[in-house]
Amino acid sequence: MLQFLRNLPKIELHAHLNGSLNIDSIRELAAKVYGVQTKEFSTLCERFIKFEKGAKLDDCFEKFGFVHELTSTKEGLEYATELVIRDFAKDNVIYVELRTTPKANGNMSRRSYLDTVLGVIKNKSDLYKIKVKLLPSINRAEPVAVAEETVALAVELATIEPEIIVGIDFSGNPNQGNFKDFIPVLSKARNHGLKLAMHCAEVDNPVEIREMIRFGMSRCGHGTYLSDSGFEHMKEENIPIECCLTSNVKSGTVANIGAHHLKQLMATCAPKVLCTDDSGVFDTTLSDEFFLATESFGLTKSQCIALTMEAVEHAFATREEKLMLKMQIYKYTRLQN
Ligand code: 6MZ
């Protein structure tokens, strides 16, 4: 089964760039770009993927700083973007939507951050035989003014690269910031034709969940704490829940894998996609996530293929791109029979 899943051409719709650098790639990045290869650094890498028993979601957000330092220069960001694309391709992911929060520092402006990531996507996707889209992220823990700059840049760059910049991701620590404050800027993005992938119900906040559902979204990140009527609404509106099994278990937002809402989504034939979230931080791959689903919920090979086809449907891709992706998946599955 694991080999079948590794070889299956897969679709990744929820991947944060800085969270998707795996430990070997972090070591490679540190060595190649910064000349760091010490034992101390290796120990820091081990600590990066280690989760203490009873870890909380807030603990995850402290981990990102480690990678953010390595991607705080143009060279670091460039190489990290290539490594992430390479690693998804190695896992036979044929289409990935990368999300990332543009960051400004002494080395880069938010514009040059996005230009750098875009440049790598344009230059390297063909080399690794993978289709890559970009969703600039709004970090809800940052001021609304930052989100306004991000959306203005996304809208502008989407006119230049409409095939790559296809949406906005609303993310960040859900225990910080107030969704309502971001409604005007998210509306602006939507009015300019950008799709919205929103982290919603990752934590239990019924008032905010209601506000988000009322506002609407193209895809729902996590959806862990949706009520039954919330799940029903998502199904009626054909809004898929981006399920990130390992992320939810390691960050403690679901008690254990058996309690994950993927089970309910499968049973009710509700729209869903399997994703990694932060394959680096959570030390996983998309193949591993599928394998975990087969082990935990008894998914068959056919169900895994169906899930992959479902992901194609919910991708922010053109009709032609979707057709090409489906043909690639179909070709592989036909060879299996
Ligand atoms: C919410 C998350 C997240 O943007 O620097 N991020 N936001 N929930 C999660 N569940 C665990 N995982 C990652 O990638 C890292 C950033 O993505 C968001 C956080 O804002 C994190 O700092 P980028 O490429």
Which residue(s) pair with 286 in the sheet?
none
Model pTM above 0.90: yes
pLDDT(337) > 70: no
Q: Kindly state the DSSP code that residue 93 receives in the 8-state scheme.
A: E
pLDDT digits (tens, 9 = 90+) for 82-116: 999 999 999 999 999 999 999 999 999 999 999 99
Interval between CA 258 and ligand 1 midpoint (Å):
24
Query: In this structure, what token pair is assigned to residue 297?
Result: 């919920």
Considering 78, 202, 242, 289, which one is annotated as catalytic?
202
**Does ipTM top 0.95?**
yes
Residue 137 Cβ inside 6 Å of ligand 1? The answer reads yes
The per-residue pLDDT for 29 is 97
The per-residue pLDDT for 188 is 98
Q: In terms of Cα–Cα distance, which of 279, 261, 266 is closest to 67?
A: 279
pLDDT(54) > 90: no
The per-residue pLDDT for 102 is 98
The per-residue pLDDT for 334 is 87
The whole-number average pLDDT for the span 214-234 is 98
Ligand 1, atom nearest to 139 Cα:
20
What does the buried/exposed string (b/e) look like for 112-129 if buried means 16 or more CB atoms within 10 Å of the residue's CB?
ebbbbbbebbeebbeeee
Q: Kindly state the DSSP code that residue 315 receives in the 8-state scheme.
A: S
202 is catalytic: yes
Place of tokens 């949406």: 167
Q: What strand order describes the sheet that includes 131-139?
A: 10-16, 93-100, 131-139, 167-171, 195-200, 219-222, 241-243, 272-274
Residue 198 Cβ inside 6 Å of ligand 1? The answer reads no
Residue 64 Cβ inside 6 Å of ligand 1? The answer reads yes
User: Which residue's CA is the nearest one to ligand 1's atom 2?
Assistant: 172
Q: What does 145-205 look like in DSSP terms, one character per residue?
A: HHHHHHHHHHHHHHHH-TTTB-EEEEES-TTSS-GGGGHHHHHHHHHTT-EEEEEESSS--
Using CA atoms in the order 295, 297, 298, 303, what is the torsion angle rounded to 10 degrees? -110
From residue 230, how far is each of 134, 246, 267, 283 by CA, in Å?
A: 28, 23, 16, 30
> What whole-number percentage of the chain has pLDDT above 70?
100
Q: How far apart are CA 194 and CA 189, in angstroms?
A: 5
> Which H or E run includes 95?
strand 93-100
The per-residue pLDDT for 52 is 86
pLDDT digits (tens, 9 = 90+) for 25-42: 999 999 999 999 999 999
pLDDT digits (tens, 9 = 90+) for 150-181: 999 999 999 999 999 999 999 999 999 999 99
From residue 151, how far is each of 105, 196, 253, 269 by CA, in Å?
A: 18, 11, 29, 34
Residue 103 Cβ inside 6 Å of ligand 1? The answer reads no
Q: In terms of Cα–Cα distance, which of 146, 145, 139, 76 is closest to 104?
A: 146
pLDDT digits (tens, 9 = 90+) for 258-303: 999 999 999 999 999 999 999 999 999 999 999 999 999 999 999 9
Checking phi first, is residue 54 left (phi over 0); if not, alpha (psi -120 to 50) or beta?
left
Interval between CA 62 and ligand 1 midpoint (Å):
10
